[in-house]
Amino acid sequence: MDKEERKIINQGQEDEMEIYGYNLSRWKLAIVSLGVICSGGFLLLLLYWMPEWRVKATCVRAAIKDCEVVLLRTTDEFKMWFCAKIRVLSLETYPVSSPKSMSNKLSNGHAVCLIENPTEENRHGISKYSQTESQQIRYFTHHSVKYFWNDTIHNFDFLKGLDEGVSCTSIYEKHSAGLTKGMHAYRKLLYGVNEIAVKVPSVFKLLIKEVLNPFYIFQLFSVILWSTDEYYYYALAIVVMSIVSIVSSLYSIRKQYVMLHDMVATHSTVRVSVCRVNEEIEEIFSTDLVPGDVMVIPLNGTIMPCDAVLINGTCIVNESMLTGESVPVTKTNLPNPSVDVKGIGDELYNPETHKRHTLFCGTTVIQTRFYTGELVKAIVVRTGFSTSKGQLVRSILYPKPTDFKLYRDAYLFLLCLVAVAGIGFIYTIINSILNEVQVGVIIIESLDIITITVPPALPAAMTAGIVYAQRRLKKIGIFCISPQRINICGQLNLVCFDKTGTLTEDGLDLWGIQRVENARFLSPEENVCNEMLVKSQFVACMATCHSLTKIEGVLSGDPLDLKMFEAIGWILEEATEEETALHNRIMPTVVRPPKQLLPESTPPGNQEMELFELPAIYEIGIVRQFPFSSALQRMSVVARVLGDKKMDAYMKGAPEVIASLCKPETVPVDFQNVLEDFTKQGFRVIALAHRKLESKLTWHKVQNISRDAIENNMDFMGLIIMQNKLKQETPAVLEDLHKANIRTVMVTGDSMLTAVSVARDCGMILPQDKVIIAEALPPKDGKVAKINWHYADSLTQCSHPSAIDSEAIPIKLVHDSLEDLQMTRYHFAMNGKSFSVILEHFQDLVPKLMLHGTVFARMAPDQKTQLIEALQNVDYFVGMCGDGANDCGALKRAHGGISLSELEASVASPFTSKTPSISCVPNLIREGRAALITSFCVFKFMALYSIIQYFSVTLLYSILSNLGDFQFLFIDLAIILVVVFTMSLNPAWKELVAQRPPSGLISGALLFSVLSQIIICIGFQSLGFFWVKQQPWYEVWHPKSDACNTTGSQFWNSSHVDNETELDEHNIQNYENTTVFFISSFQYLIVAIAFSKGKPFRQPCYKNYFFVFSVIFLYIFILFIMLYPVASVDQVLQIVCVPYQWRVTMLIIVLINAFVSLTVENFFLDMVLWKVVFNRDKQGEYRFSTTQPPQESVDRWGKCCLPWALGCGKKIPKAKYMYLAQELLVDPEWPPKPQTTTEAKALVKENGSCQIITIT
């Protein structure tokens, strides 16, 4: 039973969850119903907020196979609970001729199986999902995904399409014919409607969900309580604030839903043509598509309603929706292994690996091309939320919660306030009972204490700072769709940058070419567009080996291809659709040089005159294109010069890859040195190769040949050198970040040496810093995985290992002298393949490499996301800045993702910058820090406001008195709300500083600040409360009391007369009340000024004009009514007359209070305690930061010496990366020496431990 009770679904994936089975229990349900009635519905609310309690309170545990309800818990750090109801899908509606055929199909795995052969990969058969006796399938839906019961694995599993476990051969052999109508209907029953349904909730539904938030329920409780106590004005103010807050919240939530709905609705219902088994074409709605349908892509293009793999023809697609790049991409049909020369029929189809053959949902097919009248066909592989677009929408609809220390601490802080309220609650009850107060009054007063201690206006106050920060960000062109993340950006201490388009300019410029003749490099040439080269194979390769296409007469495609083609000045012409359909052997694309470039030469002697007299046309037709593949790092084409019998194969790509596919005798000896010289200078280098194909290769054969048959035995032709210039602002921005002790990391899809070179150029790696390249190799031929450590600047000096050992790598000694600290500045660089191997086989090295890893090259989109996670695992607060192209996952996963692209992909990023420049990064961090400090100020102020008011009321309760309604109203509305909403207006400080704000409220300095102010305020309030009783004129106040006569003042007579006529039921008017009211009113303003910190994160307090004006006005007003009372004001505020000397005494108490508060906060806390605690906590960070200028290190060391000497050094840093840095400082084996190898220990896979072996 126990095993049945807890299982894991989505194992090893991002949304992995534990699953528990439950059945509804009637007796439990009856008890809960009774509890709901007795608690006045509060229990129902509690169960609504807590799904785990709801299920456990109303259900009993059951086997997952037979349960009625499942309880799900995420396995990540949030451990969130969800519940889902089990539903049953009846298969009896399946339209087949006889029940017998139905049961046969179910039993052999045919019913909705996506592989039509029961022996091959039978796990795709649907029979495993059903119980054949009843022909019913049990399932539940969670986050828009259906999970079906799978008998084979005895667990729930989501239904997969053709995207997993299906070989390329079977796609052609088993699926290319299409589905029968019966099979289609059956699959539709299981897969459901093909739509990404973003239902926009009704306003009423959203309202109920918002209103049932625990905070609003507490506000409702407060408002009802105040109304019973006749405290209508503030209750009304809170109601108005709540309504404004709810309306604005509803508006923004609904607006986001509508935006998302509009974004996905573009393809929701279109008519599509599908091929059926008998080759008939049927027109259906796109919502009826199921995996396995063969869809016909229309000539004039369409928006893809699903993910499909192309099996016939070519498509030009705009994928900006997914990648952020609006560059059209050419998609070709999936290679058919059955007609392949080598027959690699075992290869499994994967949408990511075969993305050049996959049409993704939501992308726009601009044009299609086909030959000999055949239709362009694609097989549907995924539908609905399983598609790439569906997954993106799901990640937006159901985001992971933001885990930030500030919010966790805020809840702890509130719990502390609740505990304080509890003490006050008990004290009030006991005190009232002892004084024989009426029961009704006891209930109201004791509950009132709770609403005083936990301020209902707190969330509104906290939100104000973030709203102001959002508005300031908007002014500087940064748009935010996740305001809560602004605070988190204040904590960023590491930022990852994409290279192309982010650090460097978007496009590449052609710097020049370096051709090869007779296996020797010629000198570099700048101008390619000349008569000498026009008919060379080199230029022919540049003219044909690309994926450019004409869309509405404009040449478009990859920017790199465009630059190359523009450099030679050729003309590209495409055949029309009519021509393509008419002719069997039409060339779809033709390129030719402009007439002025063709030499008007005389005919050679051996050539007949009449041949030459034919028009001198030089045209090249592109017969077949093998598109660029990031996995292969190359692309190739088969072309034919007009009039030639033989075809030519041209190839371009990464130099190392191209050289390896060429005849060794055609590759120059100094190839490696020349390539390295260019890459070190930051150039992007592309190699070209060519070969003449055999004359027996006909046009038809070429259409079916595999690329491996073409891409070998080539002649190396030379290099194209492209220049990727740094953006003007890049070095300055990175320098600002380094000065602020914020680490910078480069994550790029470009080559390693180019990335290292750009990192040096932009200042990410300083000239004196060392770069260690980690080259990891996966296990092969029985050998374990290993990492070879190279030295970036000494890759060519490997023949002198002794020289490298002595000079290149810093020899790090165990003792901590300043010289050694200077020497340990090193950076790791690795490519995507090595990163994956290290993640899999060297788990214990990952944190060490994260500490100093600066350059990550050739990284795939999912590897970028894994890198962000690895950095977060060592407690870095990670920012990510990318241009939207393939950075979606990383932008979402980072604590603060900033997209420099305004395309739809930016919907995945919390922040989008209007200006495509990284200068937005420091701006965002500055605003984040200001917002974070504002949040701390507001939280501290609201806590003090609660405690001051709580203590005032507690003191007055002791004499069975209280603050008057208008006193409460004056404090709550005139002082607190005005101060809170103006103190949040401080703009950010103009530059980034090295100091970082604390990440949580529960830190030494902040707690000291709050506690010291609480003690000071309580002390001075108590002083006033008890001292007034010692005054010679003091008596228990009654309507005829007239202490003012002692001063001979005439101010009080009118109010005194009024007082006599009114009966004071609640005993508000007394000397203690007046004293406490005046002192506490000033205390609110004193702590507001004390907590309104400016530098180094916000502009000084005096630059916040609204705040200054509000505070001065309130000070003058309170001072005036205290020293020169106005009868009408006294009457409204229920203040009694006290002698003038006591008013002066109160002023002196307030002045001393102000002096003590400001001295403790601004001198003792900021000058003494903050620096000791701050330096101690952050010592690891400053000592081991790899981004710090040398002089700064020395300064920091000076500052750290005092606390270190006092024994603070024994404190273990909180952040893992700091702790690790301390450990590595005394590790003699780290960093690895050059030309050494680290091997993974065989058989020990759990912890991935490794050993270092020095290879001599």
Determine how β-strand 743-747 pairs with β-strand 494-497.
Answer: parallel
Structural contact between residues 1067 and 1110, judged by C-beta atoms closer than 8 angstroms: no
Distance separating alpha carbons of residues 1144 and 1024, to the nearest angstrom: 12
3-state helix, strand, coil in the chain (%, to 5): 45, 20, 35
CB neighbour list of residue 1096: distance below 8 Å, 6 or more residues apart: 989, 993, 995
* Closest listed residue to residue 268, CA positions, set 287, 248, 243: 287
CB 95 within 8 A of CB 185: yes
As given in the structure block, the two tokens for residue 286 are: 């796109």
Amino acid identity at 1084: Y
Q: Rounded to an integer, what is the distance from CA 262 to the centroid of its chain?
A: 22
**Strand duo 826-831 + 853-857: pairing:** parallel
What is the three-class DSSP state of 1056?
helix
Q: Which of 151, 161, 155 is nearest to 190 (CA)?
A: 161
Tokens of 598: 């063709």
CB neighbours of residue 1190 within 10 Å: 13
From 293, 409, 498, 648, active-site residue? 498
Phi/psi region, residue 713 (left: phi>0; alpha: psi -120 to 50; beta: rest), is left
SS (H, E, C) 944-998: HHHHHHHHHHHHHHCCCCCCCHHHHHHHHHHHHHHHHHHHCCCCECCCCCCCCCC
Decide: 165 and 124 in contact? Cβ < 8 Å: yes
Quick one: tokens of 1216?
A: 């893992």
Token pair listed for 528? 């390619």
At residue 1127, the 3 state secondary structure works out as: helix
**How far, CA to CA in Å, does 466 sit from each of 310, 462, 487, 936?**
48, 7, 8, 12
Query: CA-CA distance, 968 to 451, in Å (whole number)?
Result: 12
Beta-carbon-side half-sphere exposure of residue 865 (alpha carbons within 13 Å):
10
The encoded tokens of residue 431 equal 């005190």
Task: Say if residue 722 is exposed, middle or buried (CB neighbours under 10 Å; 0-12, 13-18, 19+).
Answer: buried
Cis ω on the peptide bond leading into residue 524 (within 30° of 0)? no
Q: Which among 1233, 987, 1024 is positioned nearest to 1138, based on CA atoms? A: 1024
Q: What ranges in 214-323 are assigned the alpha helix state H?
A: 214-228, 232-265, 320-323
Dist CA 595 CA 237 (whole Å)? 81
Cα 983 vs. chain centroid, distance in angstroms? 30
Determine whether 498 is an active site residue: yes
Instruction: Provide the 3-class DSSP secondary structure of residue 746.
Output: strand
Sequential DSSP letters for 710-738: HSSSBEEEEEEEEE-PBPTTHHHHHHHHH
What are the angstrom distances between the C-alpha of 78 and each of 8, 403, 897? 16, 8, 21
Query: Rounded distance, CA 82 to CA 72, Å?
Result: 5
Residue 501 φ/ψ, nearest 5 degrees:
85, -10
Amino acid present at 32: V
Distance, in Å, from the CA atom of 24 to the CA atom of 69, rounded to the nearest integer, reads 8
Q: Are the beta carbons of 985 and 391 closer than 8 angstroms?
A: no
Active-site annotation, residues? 498
